[in-house]
Amino acid sequence: MIQELFVPDWPPEFACSTTVPLERSPTAHTEAGRRVALHALGRVAGAVVDLPPRTGRRPAWPDGFVGSIAHDDAMAIAVAARVESTSAVGIDVEVHDALSPSDASLVMRDDELDFVGADPTLATLLWSAKESAYKAWCNGLGVELDRVDPRDIHIGRLDTSRLVARAVGDLAPRVAAIGPLQVRWGRVGELVLTLAWRAKVRG
């Protein structure tokens, strides 16, 4: 069963849909992701028969729309929006305490580690935000960003519910056309969800 997902503080222009994969396999995850993507698209675009064929690792979206898909054993989730409002979007789902603080030292900068402390929930939140930001930059630019150091995706905290993702180091010039991303997060049971996006600048 596919469900609509509403997360407090997430912008209303995004349609999010979720389901549970039928089994623990890459094929089941991919199929669940395709189904929730079509459901989310249908909420912003009307009936959509199928997604365009992929030309690389990233899912393709119909002209006029942007979106992102994430999945694990417990959830497949997709987000979709119109290009009039959003130039880039990425979404991620993780078990809320999946990343240990010791492992976080391999993917985070010193100020991020200071924020995380010894809390695996905070470590996982920042890691998920980095994943969402990476997807958003790839989707917005229409490219695969290879050889990215996760530490070059810097996550800053604005308040209890708002984060910001900025590219630093070697990544900064590669994503300059998109720029910083807004990030929001939410919890569904034992899962943490993060959404990163760049709002379209209206002239």
How many Cβ atoms are within 10 Å of 120's Cβ, its own excluded? Answer: 18
Burial of 52 (0-12, 13-18, 19+ CB in 10 A): exposed
Give the strands of the sheet with 3-5, arranged side by side. 3-5, 15-19, 76-82, 65-71
Q: Which of 122, 132, 139 is nearest to 153 (CA)?
A: 132
Read off the pLDDT of residues 2-24 as tens digits, 9 standing for 90 and up.
999 999 889 999 999 999 998 88
The single residue listed with the structure tokens 């603080």 is: 101
pTM for the model:
0.94
Percent of the chain with pLDDT over 90: 76
Read off the pLDDT of residues 22-34 as tens digits, 9 standing for 90 and up.
888 888 998 999 9
φ and ψ of 180, to 5 deg = -65, 155
Quote the tokens at residue 167: 């590219």
Read off the pLDDT of residues 70-79 as tens digits, 9 standing for 90 and up.
998 899 999 9
Distance CA(14)–CA(151), nearest Å, equals: 28
Read off the pLDDT of residues 93-122 as tens digits, 9 standing for 90 and up.
999 999 999 999 999 999 999 999 999 999
CATH class given for the domain over 3-199: alpha beta
Q: What is the pLDDT of residue 202?
A: 62
Pairing of strands 162-167, 181-188: antiparallel
Report whether 76 contacts 20 (CB < 8 A). yes
Read off the pLDDT of residues 123-151 as tens digits, 9 standing for 90 and up.
999 999 999 999 999 999 999 999 999 99
Residues in the chain, overall count = 203
Q: What is the pLDDT of residue 203?
A: 56
Helix (H), strand (E) at residue 162 = strand 162-167
Q: Three-state DSSP class for 181?
A: strand
Please, what sign has the CA dihedral across residues 153, 158, 160, 162? negative
DSSP bridge pairs for 155: 165
Distance CA(72)–CA(94), nearest Å, equals: 7
Q: What is the pLDDT of residue 161?
A: 81
φ and ψ of 122, to 5 deg = -70, -40
